[in-house]
Structure 1
């Protein structure tokens, strides 16, 4: 991995340039007061130091990364060797650049003796080295914290996706078994009718399998799955016994929602309420968009209720599944209400509308 990621290269080099310019301008004032004859010299002195220090700082950062998690004794021993090496490399690189430029310019260069240079630069380099170590440690800690947060966020997303997939998988077997039971009760009375129901069921299952692969789709696509299911149920119970209506405005049809969200509630409304009423049952699936919210309603009303079979106040397995899916996908932004409504029951679902 590169010591300096691509996105940080330009800012880093720009920072070095700014530091070099500031130091050079400051040194130029002193240089002129002392009677210097070559105004470019202060720029050479400062930039030769900044360039070498800039490269060594990246090396210190890499060293701090390698030492993460190592015993403190080993870290201290490494720094005891690295600090004087840092100073020697700084001095060697800095004066190497200066001698090269002076030679090209044809100007004599007479620095202080080596002992004086090492003492003078060694003190500054020790401070620089320790500063770079502290800055680098902070950077590595920040990067580690960011990686942990990303991993945690990814784990949460994967867990939510697995949970949603598990909940979605529960819909199809539950719906399939109930539908097959309905068909089995018809096949002894009317074999051609049962055959038509099985063909309709096969088509519906192919569509639901395709919908599960997408995880989510528009309300219009969801209703395209609900409609054949309602047609299948009408063929089972008869249009005089079961009346169905779908009401949705255009704005609501464009909203996205988890796939197969309405199939289980609609199935419950038909399966349980047709059994609870002796006569005609009307099932209405309605959707409306209100600002950035989508409101879905599944209601059923029958002519003559049967008191001996009261509805499940929780809505059964299908609605428990619905609540869990919405909680996993939207959290507190989704709401589910299931309550008596006149001679029937109404399920109301509110969730954010993402077009």
Structure 2
């Protein structure tokens, strides 16, 4: 049984037992019709054959595995040698068990002469051997296909993880360059304010670096990064111009999502409204859990519709940051995630829906 994995041993023995019982029940009927007086004899005949065949099948399966990929002439030569060996071992083992049992119970047993046995049993063994070879080949092919599928799945996972890592690496430089540009606009007007902004930026970058190493964290951790960024932007534009609203219930905060997922949408919301309007702009981040789904919304709304400068046409997909977001969600969740981006009354709105795992 060493050729059989431990988890398959009990089912294999159970299968052989069922086959032996079915064959014995059929043989018992013929035995009684022929006037037999010892009902245990058909069970001995069939189970002795099934037991030996059960062991030999393991050897056939191992042989088929060893012959995989070999040239056909070598395979045919191996089978030409294995078939007589299979039949010889089957006959010797089967009749050896029968003679032993009959001897123990003190009953005489007189099998047919050897030439007759070789012809009668050899023909059946040839059919059995061919059948077992075909079944074994199918099993090996199925195992190889399953191994290829597992390897392909592993390669896909590694590719997806590599892609996620590449996309995540794009988040921080994009966010950093835009933030530094914001700080540079006030550094000559208010040095103390610019210094304060740089200190806040350094603290925020330390948090984002730590988050990036985790690759995935809870929505609560993500909001802990978004809030300092929004505070930094409020310090830049003034709280009278930038109003921040964050709403997320406890169930939503427990959901896990890719790290740094919301920074780009929040920054995009500020870039599209706060930096281009004189009036007050409200930036909202909302999250709610609906069963096993997490719904996230990032939106902005300007109180005064008149822009400080002629408005630029919004990019259809939200620019680099949101293209990155779409690709990250696609790589992580596939079709299970959905992203909608477009204008709403007085501003822009980004809605995301993705699976919630706690």
TM-score by length of 1: 0.91
Please report how far the alpha carbon of residue 141 of structure 1 lies from its aligned counterpart in structure 2 after TM superposition. Answer: 1.6
Q: Partner of 1:101 in structure 2? A: 101
Please report how far the alpha carbon of residue 37 of structure 1 lies from its aligned counterpart in structure 2 after TM superposition. Answer: 4.8
Q: How does 1:273-288 map to 2 (within 5 A)?
A: 273-288=273-288
Distance 1:99 1:63 in 2: 30
Distance 1:104 1:318 in 2: 85
Counterpart among 339, 348, 352 of residue 349 in structure 1: 352
Q: Which runs of no fewer than 5 residues in structure 1 stay unpaired?
A: none
Distance 1:287 1:5 in 2: 49
Mark the CA change 1:337 to 1:38 in structure 2 (over 3 Å): closer, same or farther: closer
Distance 1:107 1:210 in 2: 83
Q: Partner of 2:118 in structure 1? A: 118
Give SS of 1:70's match.
coil
Please report how far the alpha carbon of residue 129 of structure 1 lies from its aligned counterpart in structure 2 after TM superposition. Answer: 0.3
Please report how far the alpha carbon of residue 344 of structure 1 lies from its aligned counterpart in structure 2 after TM superposition. Answer: 2.0
Q: Partner of 1:315 in structure 2? A: 318
Distance 2:341 2:44 in 1: 79
Please report how far the alpha carbon of residue 10 of structure 1 lies from its aligned counterpart in structure 2 after TM superposition. Answer: 1.4
1:276/1:309 contact within 8 Å kept? no
Give SS of 1:49's match.
helix
Q: Partner of 1:10 in structure 2? A: 10
Distance 2:344 2:43 in 1: 85
Distance 1:152 1:280 in 2: 53
Q: How does 1:39-50 map to 2 (within 5 A)?
A: 39-50=39-50
Please report how far the alpha carbon of residue 213 of structure 1 lies from its aligned counterpart in structure 2 after TM superposition. Answer: 3.0
Please report how far the alpha carbon of residue 82 of structure 1 lies from its aligned counterpart in structure 2 after TM superposition. Answer: 0.9
Distance 1:167 1:276 in 2: 28
Distance 1:295 1:113 in 2: 82
TM-score by length of 2: 0.91
Distance 1:99 1:203 in 2: 87
Can you list the C-alpha shifts for 1:307-328, whole angstroms capped at 9, x where unaligned?
1544333311101111111222
Please report how far the alpha carbon of residue 185 of structure 1 lies from its aligned counterpart in structure 2 after TM superposition. Answer: 4.0
Q: Partner of 1:201 in structure 2? A: 201
Distance 1:114 1:333 in 2: 69
Mark the CA change 1:308 to 1:23 in structure 2 (over 3 Å): closer, same or farther: closer
Q: How does 1:1-355 map to 2 (within 5 A)?
A: 3-302=3-302, 303=304, 304-305=306-307, 306-355=309-358
**Residues 336-345 or 89-98, more deviating:** 336-345
Distance 1:290 1:139 in 2: 44
Please report how far the alpha carbon of residue 272 of structure 1 lies from its aligned counterpart in structure 2 after TM superposition. Answer: 4.2
Please report how far the alpha carbon of residue 291 of structure 1 lies from its aligned counterpart in structure 2 after TM superposition. Answer: 4.5
**Residues 33-42 or 142-151, more deviating:** 33-42
Distance 1:178 1:296 in 2: 23
Please report how far the alpha carbon of residue 33 of structure 1 lies from its aligned counterpart in structure 2 after TM superposition. Answer: 4.2
Give SS of 2:282's match.
strand
Can you list the C-alpha shifts for 1:285-307, whole angstroms capped at 9, x where unaligned?
12233454332221223334121
Give SS of 1:307's match.
coil
**Residues 183-192 or 164-173, more deviating:** 183-192
Mark the CA change 1:202 to 1:100 in structure 2 (over 3 Å): closer, same or farther: farther
- How many residues align? The count is 355
Please report how far the alpha carbon of residue 138 of structure 1 lies from its aligned counterpart in structure 2 after TM superposition. Answer: 1.4
**Residues 304-313 or 17-26, more deviating:** 304-313
| RMSD across aligned positions (CA) | 2.3
Please report how far the alpha carbon of residue 266 of structure 1 lies from its aligned counterpart in structure 2 after TM superposition. Answer: 0.6
Distance 1:9 1:201 in 2: 63
**Residues 55-64 or 139-148, more deviating:** 139-148
1:276/1:310 contact within 8 Å kept? no
Can you list the C-alpha shifts for 1:159-197, whole angstroms capped at 9, x where unaligned?
222111111111011112222333344444444434433
Distance 1:86 1:223 in 2: 70
Distance 2:196 2:104 in 1: 95
